[in-house]
Chain A
Amino acid sequence: MQETEVLEGSEAVAFAVKACRPQVISAYPISPQTHIVEALARMIADGEMDSEYVRVESEFSAASVISGASAAGSRSYTASSSQGLLLMTEVLYASAGMRLPFVITGVNRAISVPISIQVDHQDTISLRDSGVIQFYVESSQEAYDTHIAAFKIAEDPGILLPVSVCMDGWILTHSYERVSFLEQEEVDRFLPPFKPKNFLDVNDPKSWGSYAEEDVLMEFKYSIHRAMQYGKERIKEIFSELATITGRDHGGLIEAYRTRDAEVILVAMGSMVGTIKEAIDKLRSQGQRVGLIKIRCYRPFPFEDILDNIKVAKVVAVMDANFSMGSEGALGMDLKAKLCGRRGAPLVLDCVAGLGGREVNEKRVLEIVERAREVEESGLPLDEPYWAGLRPEILPEGAENDRQGKIG
């Protein structure tokens, strides 16, 4: 019997991390930090948890400490957000290059400027190319479960990469809701102690992060890509192994929701997914064939699984809570790149939704589905991504003539 409690999302994650028995935790305790590392620090100070907690002077150092600890063969963990994740970026590329399997909670918050504490995915999307595996979660329960899977995935000998569990700030980290916990023995059986084949050892010296010339660097990089690409099946196996223990199946790399006969399929990740499911149920009850693909694993990009589930779709509407200035959102780009040139591929409607905490409610989802229907009818893609919920009244004069959201 699993114990169930109503508690804050951040605290639920701290319990998941505790159950995974990391030997080293390092964090920088200032905004935009969350209660996760605060709760872990308290557990360690109270003697409830046996771990080395290294309080550092910046997120750059936090990432460096857990990289070093991981290289020395310790299971390691940190959490950060927003600017903090950006400050870790330089280190994280190196950690992935050195194939160090630690776990980071990336609590999603907007990037300055303007200064904000609200949710969006710009921070973790900025780490998209680093070689860090990225999962996104919909609820505190999924955050709890995914953290436990994350250590096992990171440490898998065929993968050996950092894993980031991305979790929406405020909406998940500061919400109280039900979470069921695994017994410690169940976690211990699922996740045995970290025993890497290679680690820093004074008695058997080896180098990490050495210099590479043009004759081998490409192979190093290709190996990371390969670990991700061919690690997809292993990630799915680990998720389903955990699901048999928890009794909760959140899906594999994606969750396909009512997609089988759907003409319009929304694609999204993070906490907005729950609200989208509610909107889809409403549209379905009116006879509209609408579905959703929730991206659980963003890197590696689960294109094969997406493709399997959009076969009859006419329009795929992507809701990106991030944006590449001067281009479009990341999910939209990924999907279009993979669909391009495929016979019978659906049209892609790119939407920017939820930047800086701009609310994604059912009404907004219905607007996007309506726009998808217009795209379907015209048979043409948008000129420029549709910024859902944009307030034209506070934009510079002339913005009303922009091609944003306009068809063909």
Chain B
Amino acid sequence: MKEIRIHGRGGQGSLVLAQFIAIAALEDGKYGQAFPFLGGGGERRGKPIMAFCRLSDQPIRLRSRVSEPDYVIVQDVTILNELDVAEGVKDTGMILVNTEKEAASLGLEGPFHVFSFSGDKLARETLGRPIINTAILGAFAAISKELSLAAALSAVRKKFSGELGEKNAQVVQESYKRLMRELS
């Protein structure tokens, strides 16, 4: 089983990102589970929130919060000033931060890998809004190999129909391609 913890701010689509990954898991023939942890007063725009996701070849019974993630996704780099996003990350784990800064300059030190990637420009150009969860989804698929591009695209189209779904699918495809190029 692989466990993912997503840090973001209320309104950035962190939970939706977790949901995309869980929906994509089904497309890939796996089990997926996605759930929010809003703590401290429920849904509020701008407040740091967490969303969790689990992927497994077996049905997922565990329902506790993800405390030792294989992957951490940080949608908003300013959260690094507020909490330790590396808490509990497995030695073999990976942290993906949405920022234009270099990964090495983020002050995240440990045995895990740190990647930085900025989805802001791509999201603004294609969607007209800085909602970067679909850009991150493409990047995560490329870096982690935990979900296929086809499954990620299908998850986005399943959740958003019509033009919105198509535009977001385009963002996923672009960010996936970009990361694959950078990684090769």
Interface residues of A (CB under 8 A from B): 4-6, 117, 170-171, 174-178, 271-272, 274-275, 277-278, 359-362
Distance A56 CA – B153 CA, assembled complex (angstroms): 41
Q: Is the CB of A117 within 8 A of B42?
A: yes
B35 at the interface (CB under 8 A from A): yes
Distance A4 CA – B25 CA, assembled complex (angstroms): 12
Question: With a CB–CB cut-off of 8 A, which chain B residues contact A278?
Answer: 61-62
Distance A361 CA – B25 CA, assembled complex (angstroms): 24
* Contact pattern, B 22-51, Cβ under 8 Å of A = 1, otherwise 0: 110110000111111000001000000000
Q: Is the CB of B64 within 8 A of A271?
A: no
Q: Is the CB of A176 within 8 A of B19?
A: yes
Q: A174-B35, A178-B31 are in contact. Are A271 and B23 (CB under 8 A)?
A: no
Q: Which of under 10, 10 to 19, 20 to 34, or 35 or more describes the interface residues of B?
A: 20 to 34
Chain A to chain B: the 7 pairs with minimum beta-carbon distance, closest first = A274-B61, A361-B64, A175-B35, A176-B34, A6-B23, A176-B22, A176-B19
Question: With a CB–CB cut-off of 8 A, which chain B residues contact A361?
Answer: 64-65, 67
Of the candidates A6, A174, A175, A177, the one having the most CB atoms from chain B within 10 angstroms of its own CB is: A6
Q: Is the CB of B35 within 8 A of A170?
A: yes
Question: With a CB–CB cut-off of 8 A, which chain B residues contact A170?
Answer: 35-36
| Other-chain residue from B33, B42, B64, B67 in contact with A177 (beta carbon distance below 8 A) | B33
Q: Is the CB of A274 within 8 A of B63?
A: yes
Question: With a CB–CB cut-off of 8 A, which chain A residues contact B34?
Answer: 175-177
| Other-chain residue from B26, B32, B35, B42 in contact with A171 (beta carbon distance below 8 A) | B35
Please give the distance in Å from A381's CB to the nearest CB on chain B: 28
Q: Is the CB of A359 within 8 A of B65?
A: yes
Identity of the chain A residue whose Cβ is nearest the Cβ of B19 in the assembled complex: A176
Distance A274 CA – B26 CA, assembled complex (angstroms): 20
B180 at the interface (CB under 8 A from A): no
Identity of the chain B residue whose Cβ is nearest the Cβ of A117 in the assembled complex: B42
Q: Which of B99-131 contact A (CB under 8 A)?
A: none
Distance A258 CA – B63 CA, assembled complex (angstroms): 20
Identity of the chain B residue whose Cβ is nearest the Cβ of A270 in the assembled complex: B63
Distance A198 CA – B1 CA, assembled complex (angstroms): 53
B150 at the interface (CB under 8 A from A): no
| Other-chain residue from B26, B31, B63 in contact with A275 (beta carbon distance below 8 A) | B63
B171 at the interface (CB under 8 A from A): no
| Other-chain residue from A4, A5, A117, A274 in contact with B62 (beta carbon distance below 8 A) | A274
Q: Is the CB of A271 within 8 A of B42?
A: no
Q: A6-B25, A178-B31 are in contact. Are A275 and B61 (CB under 8 A)?
A: yes
